[in-house]
Chains A and B, each alone.
Chain A
Amino acid sequence: MLEARLEQANLLKKVVDAIKDLVQDCNFDCNDSGIALQAMDNSHVALVSMMLKSESFSPFRCDRNIALGINLTSLTKVLRCAANEDILTLKAEDAPDVVNLVFESAESDRLSEYDIKLMDIDQEHLGIPETEYAATISMPSAEFQKICRDLMALSESVSIECTKEGVKFACSGDIGSGSVTLRSHTNVEKPQLNVEIDLSEPVALTFSLKYLVNFCKASGLSEQVRLCLSNEVPLLVEYALSNNSYLRFYLAPKIGD
């Protein structure tokens, strides 16, 4: 059986909120290392990969592999019933029909309990090889969100060009063009504002802004976001969570004209 207790319901609320517009029905794969999810959007252009390590829960117990097929709209409805600071416990039997969610207030004696019916989801699973990326950019997640939103007002796509000079986000559309260039930057007092660019070779790729803006819904999960690029492979956008847990998005580049 599965029993996984999160100190704050907020974490799962934010994760589900960040991915629910991209993917609808997904398997939450539970085993002794934690709870993982991998799902592609309908157009197979973007992929979500979530890992909540067992260390992110206290306690965490999962005796055997269990796949919880959950509709994210249903999960969102139930998670709305939890206060952000509630303690959340996920429970399921070994061959479950439902997943049980318990919300406990740390400050009062309220205990809420919900069951969500599970679905049988036959999901395509992609193998993503370990990649040595040509460019890795760490930057404030709010900054990345602002750049994507700003450029989307002008164009449907953005080119991300990384050289030793810095990283340039550029777009052009019907009304004109725009670009934002960032250079490496270290703020000793506020390291969350750092921009770090690790480059082994120059990279230039073009991506759909619609998807990037969607990924940025995860900005509330982490102060920093990591962008990993190599020519001719999908972009990795990573939001690191505590205990080595993460929320990753992969986006295929746009090709041709």
Chain B
Amino acid sequence: TPFQNNLGEYYTLV
């Protein structure tokens, strides 16, 4: 199954 990505890879913590 495809790997599910993580939001942290697109948006940075503020």
Q: Which residues of B contact A46 (CB under 8 A)?
A: 7
| A207-237 vs B, Cβ < 8 Å mask (1 yes, 0 no) | 0100000000000000000000000011000
* A125-B14, A126-B14 known; A47+B5 contact, CB < 8 A: no
Report which residue of B8, B9, B10, B12 has the largest number of chain A beta carbons within 10 angstroms of its beta carbon.
B10
User: How many Å lie between the Cα of A208 and that of B6 in the bound state?
Assistant: 12
Question: Which of A14-22, A176-184, A246-254 faces chain B?
Answer: A246-254
| B4 and A126 contacting across the interface, CB-CB below 8 Å | no
Q: Which residues of B contact A129 (CB under 8 A)?
A: 11
Count chain B residues whose beta carbon lies closer than 8 angstroms to a beta carbon of A. Answer: 14
User: How many Å lie between the Cα of A254 and that of B1 in the bound state?
Assistant: 10
**Which residue of B is nearest A257, CB measured?**
B2
Q: Which residues of B contact A250 (CB under 8 A)?
A: 7, 11
| B4 and A45 contacting across the interface, CB-CB below 8 Å | yes
CB distance from B10 to the nearest CB of A (A): 6
A44 touches B (CB below 8 Å):
yes
Query: B3 touches which one: A124, A126, A254 (CB < 8 A)?
Result: A254
CB distance from A31 to the nearest CB of B (A): 16
Q: Which residues of B contact A206 (CB under 8 A)?
A: 2
Q: Which residues of A contact B5 (CB under 8 A)?
A: 45, 252-255
User: How many Å lie between the Cα of A50 and that of B1 in the bound state?
Assistant: 31
CB distance from B5 to the nearest CB of A (A): 4
Q: Can you give 30 A-B contacts (C-beta < 8 A)?
A: A40-B7, A44-B8, A45-B4, A45-B6, A47-B7, A47-B11, A124-B13, A126-B7, A126-B11, A126-B12, A126-B14, A127-B12, A127-B14, A128-B11, A233-B10, A234-B7, A234-B10, A234-B11, A250-B7, A252-B4, A252-B5, A252-B6, A252-B7, A252-B9, A254-B2, A254-B3, A254-B4, A255-B2, A255-B3, A256-B3
